[in-house]
Amino acid sequence: MVSGLEIRMSRILRKGKMLCIPMDHGISSGPIEGLENPASIISRCETHGLTSVIINKGIIKSLPRPTRVGILAHFSASTSLSMSPNRKMLTGSAEEALRLGADGVSLHINVGGKEEPEMLEQLGRISEQCHNLNVPLLAMMYPRGENIKNPHDPEIVGHVARIGAELGADIVKTLYTGDVDSFAKVVKSIPVPVVIAGGPKAKTDADILQMTEDAMKAGAKGVTYGRNIFAHKSPEKMVGALAAIIFGKESAKEAEKRLGKK
């Protein structure tokens, strides 16, 4: 018998894999390049291999029509204008996500700074709500704060990602460590699907495609890329190229041809 959790997970993943555009940046950074109209980005990309999006509650309510992809309601917030930009505050509940029509919940947790305890408590609280209602929970687990010297250190990434799984997340999003072998060790230590963040806009398309290929080789279940998709000159083509790697098992070089490059 299929469960509510499985049904909702199938809406944000495809065949157990994820190609997601997080577009929660409007609270932290405002309407940055590419996110002036989130609904337009979704419309352009949803038929090119995208599985889901991460958006804030107000954007969900403003969508002109239901999406063809899964929606994770993002319930963490802080702003770049704040004295404590790393201090993410809780902005919703699992019940609210269901009222909004979302398929899951997303939280952002920074580990390694003075704000860490409060965010860990939030993750535990929302995890309980999600489990009670069979709502998938994605935890963005970032090494970020005063005690983090190298956020891509494999041991630190492994520890931070494991915290997300230990506190009940169904999917853990974290940073790629930079090489297949070290990230494979991270993935093996996490009992739930692991997906990678894209970080700042990559210098070249080849860089982001190669990182995707390498992460998938290491055992990742997909990617959640923001600026590297919505700030791309052809977001739908980038999604198509990423989908070719994630679902079609193409190499980065093969996928790059889908961007109109040789």
Q: Which residues are annotated binding-site positions?
A: 24-28, 142-144, 198-199, 226-227
- How far is CA 174 from its chain centroid? 8
Catalytic residue among 88, 103, 142, 221: 142
On the CB side of 147, CA atoms within 13 Å amount to 11
Nearest to 236 by CA among 19, 6, 14: 19
Catalytic residue among 88, 173, 221, 237: 173
Active site residue 225: no
Q: How far apart are CA 148 and CA 54, in angstroms?
A: 26
Active site residue 142: yes
Catalytic residue among 24, 170, 205, 214: 24
Tell me whether residue 28 is exposed, middle or buried, using C-beta atoms within 10 angstroms of its C-beta: 0 to 12, 13 to 18, 19 or more: middle
Residue 120 makes CB contacts below 8 A (sequence gap 6+) with 109, 111, 163, 167
Q: How far apart are CA 33 and CA 116, in angstroms?
A: 30
Q: How far apart are CA 262 and CA 248, in angstroms?
A: 19
Active site residue 24: yes
* Tokens 């098992």 belong to residue: 249
On the CB side of 124, CA atoms within 13 Å amount to 8
Q: Where are the alpha helices (DSSP H) in 71-217?
A: 94-100, 116-133, 154-166, 180-188, 205-217
Give 204-207's long-range contacts (Cβ < 8 A, gap of 24+). Answer: 205/232, 205/238, 205/241, 205/256, 205/259, 205/261, 206/252, 206/253, 206/256
The catalytic residues are 24, 142, 173
